[in-house]
Amino acid sequence: MGERARAVGTEAENKAWKFLGNLGYKAIERNEEEYDIDCLALFPQNTSKYELIKPRYAPTGLTAIEVTEESLRKTKVTEFREKIERYNGDHPEERIEGGILLIDQKISPKMIGFMRERGIWGWGSSRQRLYKEKWGTYYAWKDTLGSTAEIALDDTCSFLLCSTPPPTKSDKLLHFAVFLDADTQKLSMRKVEEIMNRIRESSISRLLEIGISPVNIHIEFHSVGGVSVTEEDFADGLVRYWKTEGINIITTKKIFLDYRTFPSM
């Protein structure tokens, strides 16, 4: 039984390190035995705009990471915080700025709040699924469509942008994938309009100004906190209006994706 438990733990950790590496994290030290921390990692500063940025829900700087298959309890969070404090007490010049706890279960908003008060970012099944979709889309677009960048809108939202100018087989000039990373915020029509207007201002308006019309775009939305808007609302409230201004929103897949209930790792 002991060997089996250790094997399952090792398998889970290996999946976690691959997952974090795909997001862009660089491991500084794994299985830090003195402080019993699974991994110390950094998200390096981008050297090119065509790279994934740090996840919106994550600490900045040196980060402690723990992977657990146990049920999530407050004592687990408190113990993780105590490990970080012991490490920081011995390393005042290279302090851990916060911790990420990966657990393959849903984390309640109340527990998320408890964790954040202690400098721990909880990556439950919903958030892991969101981030997997982000890097999966990023690499798929990069390999098949062209250079892809991630652009932050604020602390809870970012979007992938891929431009496919002629000559290309794609009938869309621009591809966008929006990732709303806020546990307590559902993706509403009002939020969709706010995000779309900011995307328009930053990435579409200039094309219209220089006479490119129509501009065909693909858009998709991914939300960790749920979705309350329908595709009918989107079509009636925005797609038709934008079309009159020379922006055609063309989608061949589901526009709004909600990861609250999906299993991940």
Q: What are 31-56's pLDDT values in tens digits?
A: 888 999 999 999 999 889 999 999 99
C-alpha to C-alpha distance for 213 and 69, rounded to whole angstroms: 52
End-to-end CA distance of the chain: 22
E-only strand ranges, the chain:
26-32, 37-42, 63-68, 98-103, 120-123, 148-154, 157-163, 174-180, 215-223, 247-249, 256-258
Long-range pairs of 45-49 with CB within 8 A, sequence gap ≥ 24: 49/149
Q: Helix (H, G, I), strand (E, B), or coil: what is residue 95?
A: coil
DSSP element (H, E) containing 10: helix 2-23
Residue 205 is assigned to a structural domain of this protein: yes
Q: What's 25's domain CATH number?
A: 3.40.1350
Final residue belonging to a domain, choices 77, 93, 123: 123
Domain that holds residue 109: 2-123
Amino acid making up residue 81: R
Q: pLDDT tier at 232 (50, 70, 90 boundaries)?
A: very high
Q: Would you say residue 161 has pLDDT above 90?
A: yes
Residue 168 is assigned to a structural domain of this protein: yes
Average pLDDT, the chain: 90
What is the predicted pLDDT for the residue at 32? 87
Q: How confident is the model over 142-171, as a mean pLDDT?
A: 89
Final residue belonging to a domain, choices 106, 123, 140: 123
What is the predicted pLDDT for the residue at 245? 92
Residue 195 is assigned to a structural domain of this protein: yes
C-alpha to C-alpha distance for 246 and 215, rounded to whole angstroms: 6
Percent of the residues in the chain that have a pLDDT greater than 70, as a whole number: 94
97: left (phi > 0), else alpha (psi -120 to 50), else beta? alpha
What is the predicted pLDDT for the residue at 6? 43
91/201 same-domain check: no
How many C-beta atoms surround the C-beta of residue 171 within 10 A?
11
Q: How confident is the model over 104-126, as a mean pLDDT?
A: 94
35/56 same-domain check: yes
Q: pLDDT tier at 2 (50, 70, 90 boundaries)?
A: very low
132/73 same-domain check: no
Q: How confident is the model over 143-168, as a mean pLDDT?
A: 91
C-alpha to C-alpha distance for 37 and 226, rounded to whole angstroms: 32
What is the predicted pLDDT for the residue at 11? 77
Q: Would you say residue 121 has pLDDT above 70?
A: yes
112/182 same-domain check: no
What is the predicted pLDDT for the residue at 168? 67
Final residue belonging to a domain, choices 123, 155, 181: 123
Q: Would you say residue 129 has pLDDT above 70?
A: yes
Residue 144 has phi, psi (to 5 degrees) of -110, -25
Q: Would you say residue 8 has pLDDT above 70?
A: no
- Please state, in angstroms and as integers, the Cα–Cα distance from residue 249 to each residue in 149, 150, 234, following that order: 20, 20, 10
Contact (Cβ atoms closer than 8 angstroms) between residue 102 and residue 67 = yes
**Structure confidence by residue, pLDDT tens digits, 66-75:** 999 888 999 9
What is the predicted pLDDT for the residue at 46? 87
Q: Would you say residue 7 has pLDDT above 90?
A: no
Q: How confident is the model over 204-214, as a mean pLDDT?
A: 91
103/137 same-domain check: no
Structure tokens given for 116: 């954040």
46/153 same-domain check: no
Question: How many domains does one find in the chain?
Answer: 2
